[in-house]
A and B are shown apart, each in its own frame.
Chain A
Amino acid sequence: MPLFWLLLAAFILAPCACFLLLAVSPRLFSQGDQWFTLTYLHQALTGATAVAIVNSLWVSSAAAALGIAIGFPIAWLASRTTLPGRRFIPAAMWLVLLLPSWLPALGWERIVQPDGVMYRLGLDWPWVTHLIMGPFGVVLLLGLRCVPFSYLAITAAMAGLGQEFEDAARVHGASRLQAMRLIIPILAPAIWSALAIGFAESISDFGVAATLAYNSNFTLATYQLYADIGNFPPSFPLAAGMAWLLVAAVAIPLALQARALRGRSYAVLSGRTRQAVRREFGRWGKIGATGAVALFFVVALGVPGFGAVSASLLADYGGSFSLTWANYHALFAQTNLAAAAGGGLLSPLERSMVYGIITATITVIGGFIAARLLSKRRTKATGALDFLLLASVALPGVVFGAGYIFAYNLPIASRLGINLYQTATLLVIAYTASSLPTNARVLVGAVSQLQPSLQDAARAHGAGAITAWARGVLPVVSRPIVMAWLFTFCGVFLELPLSQLLYQPGSPPASIAIEDNLSNYHFGVGMAQSVLAVAFALALVGAVLGGYRLLAPAGWRRIGGTVRG
């Protein structure tokens, strides 16, 4: 256990704390003369950085609002009506959630860019280009990413909201609309959560900031922070100042959400909650509702998917829409381009796959240990762990990455023999450290439901510690563990900000290789890599889920599953 705490301190607490401390005390890290100064925080609030922060604030607010405006109706349609195809909505939402934000952004870009798919199809619509390649497009894409958070939060709340509240309103004189207006505030916790998470996710997003927003000359805070480190000479204290602002921007809505809900209970579940009745639509209502939901998925997945796939089948230059497999051939052939990309165009995908598998495995083990600690009786130590993990969830990936660069470049690291900077090891450690907080949060729900008696019963009936765990505990948490593993893998496989800041030169992970190809105008190959990457990821998810279904004992699969009949 001390080793666990040491690792947490070394890989989560220390890098982030050092980096944030740097903004107010540069001399502590030999980055300036002052022991204490607010200059860098002040600088972060002026000039280009201030513009970036303001852009991020309003864009994130608008995106969170858009997320709830779209997510709420879809959640209501999925949980309270007989909408055709509603069974597919959860899976499609997870797909929207798990796709890294830069992928749809690139898909859209490749459609609307001058020389993009739209123009090659003969659609000369510059106004669409201007609309998407600007603040509107950025809000749209970030807002679409917020939809799954709203959807998941609202459907979870609606699942527990029985029919009685609406019935009670109706029998006491409320019309259908008035009843709905009465019910919506009961969902306030879910709505607040969705808004806070949507805002936090949007403001800490790097994928859209580094692609669509950057290419549209619309600077967001995360990209500005990256640029502060990437420019020569790098200004770590200024970047740290920006990090403070970002962390505050993420933490404030989360804190406000907690404050708004403190002392209030919106508990609606009781043992006798009557399941809500699904509303039947009329013919036109059904067509309208299905069309609206389909439109969301077309915009969120279909258009960027079409953009990516079609761009991967087009030659880089030329004005016609003639399809070719040349880009995919290039992926599998050893060409100069491939050699420049570091040993073949497929190797970044393989590399990311390996990184993802290693990271997901370590993270699930660490996450399980953390979840176990969090679900035990609260002590000062577990309270500190809880705070550390919660604070880390609110930490944008780019701040995390900047903290790593800074901390592992300090002379003291070298003096201690820790020469991890620009190694794959540090990248995997950073992936793990950034995934662990979310992973622990995902697992803590399942772990806190574990009855200690399960393991105790196995021990009392003669099983050793490991057997007792394997027989008494593992079956109960196997499904959440598999899901947490997949969740982490998908997050890491095409991760961008940490990869951008920490990858080992000459060994780029998939997201960097794709970005490099696109920025060097190898659009076709870059998009072919993207398409293959998504296909790889989906194949792995399918293989893991299929493997679990085939190999896990029937009893394991029953736990937490749906019982038919």
Chain B
Amino acid sequence: MAEPITIESLGKTYPGGNVALHELSLAVEPGSFLVLLGPSGSGKTTLLRCLAGIERVTSGRITIGQRTVADGRTHVPPDQRDLSMVFQDYALWPHLSARDNVAFALRRRNLSREQCRIRAVQMLARVGLSALAERYPNELSGGEQQRVALARALIADTGLILCDEPLSNLDADLRERMRVEISSLVREAAATTVYITHDQAEAFALADQVGVLEKGRLVQSGTPEQIYTRPATPFVARFTGLAGEMTVRVRERDPDGMVFVEPVLGGGAIDEFSGGVPGRFPVRAPMEELPGETALLMVRPTGVRLNQDERHLAGRVTDVAFRGRGYEHAIDLDGSTRLTGVFAEFRVPRGEVVGLRMDPAGCHLYPAEPSDAQDHLPERAVVGAPES
């Protein structure tokens, strides 16, 4: 039966003083699919391992179902938490066949050896590996190993399944196919699932609920749509995919919740069009008050389009990449501000000046950051926009 999970003020400090988790609280509905998203070092693996019972928590409480499994005094060992897990490198025991690897997880169900074997073969058939049940892990491909690991996690019908970046070792094509399989098989099992990844596209595709972690803190939690359309902080916005960011001057606020901004561009700004380029354009009002006149504008790839006629900005194409269904352009606004992943169904050659139209739904405004904010910009956030 699917279990709810409650995490209250969880803290984890490793020997040596490295604080991995800081006062983290989160609730997961029974049967829902939670994806914890964050960069390396954000604490997502530690959180997962605390849930599994592999790591002891330093402070706070974890409740699975009605049972407190970890707090300052209690530590229920992993084998008594009745959960299962898919490991990043699968952790298939090399001396056991695929069938025996899967059957191992049934030992706690007090079934006969024969019943365990039969069920293991049935489970392998569900993941499409019935013909390979007798093979050893080294005789299986990466995708097949991944399926064995998944079968092992699913077979015991535990109320909670944990997945530790299970797709990160696969190539792009296989990753997409396995993502679909994980999504459907785990939902069929109707277990609560906690899945960690650093890939926002994977997170949005899989999750009912996404939790974004930064430096051991949960900075936002919500549905994928909420996270994408209303990122709570610049970090969340960057980590979930940006075309770029720029400093803007706030010019006007209107009562409908829109704010008119004007980009603050450097001396190299393109000004080849008449009609007020760079110009003023509307964006959605921020969630928090803007303390000053200038603000930081974060632009999703969906927040900017090539448009010569109804343009807000102009820029020069510095790179163009064919993406199958069209072209993504990198556009330089002033020699230092650049927007990437600007989509068009047609190709615009490098060096050409283009007009850009901003879409308020894809533009998010935040209080201006210290000047070193650019140093923390994760590359993925700029160049890797999610498919939308």
Contact = CB atoms under 8 A, between A and B. Distances in A.
21 contacts: A165-B93, A167-B78, A167-B87, A168-B85, A168-B93, A169-B104, A170-B77, A171-B52, A171-B54, A171-B79, A172-B79, A172-B107, A172-B152, A172-B156, A182-B93, A182-B104, A186-B94, A265-B138, A266-B95, A267-B94, A270-B169
A87 interface: no
Nearest to B78: A170
A518 interface: no
Contacts, number: 86
A171 B162 contact: yes
Contacts of B79: 170-175, 178
Contacts of A186: 93-95
Interface of A: 162-165, 167-176, 178, 182, 185-186, 188, 264-268, 270, 272-273
Contact of B83 (A165, A171, A264, A266): A171
Nearest to A269: B89
Most buried by B among A163, A173, A176: A173
B95 A164 contact: no
B310 to A, nearest CB: 49
B95 A188 contact: yes
Contact of B136 (A174, A176, A264, A272): A264
Given A167-B52, A171-B84, A272-B168, 20 more contacts: A167-B91, A168-B87, A170-B54, A170-B78, A171-B54, A171-B79, A171-B162, A172-B105, A172-B108, A173-B156, A174-B79, A186-B95, A264-B138, A265-B136, A265-B137, A265-B138, A265-B139, A267-B94, A267-B138, A268-B94
Interface in B66-118: 77-79, 81-85, 87-89, 91, 93-95, 104-105, 107-108
A161 to B, nearest CB: 10
A266 B168 CA distance: 22
B62 to A, nearest CB: 14
Nearest to A161: B94
Contacts of A174: 79, 104, 107
B386 interface: no
A172 B93 contact: no
Q: How large is the interface on B (under 10, 10 to 19, 20 to 34, 35 or more residues)?
A: 20 to 34
Interface string B109-136: 0000000000000000000000000001
Contacts of A167: 49, 52, 54, 78, 85, 87, 91
A142 to B, nearest CB: 30
Contacts of A164: 87-89, 91
Contact of B84 (A162, A163, A172, A175): A172
Nearest to A268: B94
A424 B139 CA distance: 55
A165 B89 CA distance: 10
A270 B52 contact: no
B53 interface: yes
Contacts of A176: 77
Interface string B27-50: 000000000000000000000010
A265 B104 contact: no
A372 to B, nearest CB: 30
A173 B116 CA distance: 14
Contacts of B82: 173
Contacts of A188: 95
A185 B53 contact: no
Contacts of A163: 54
A504 to B, nearest CB: 53
Contacts of B169: 270, 272
A6 B129 CA distance: 56
A185 B156 CA distance: 24
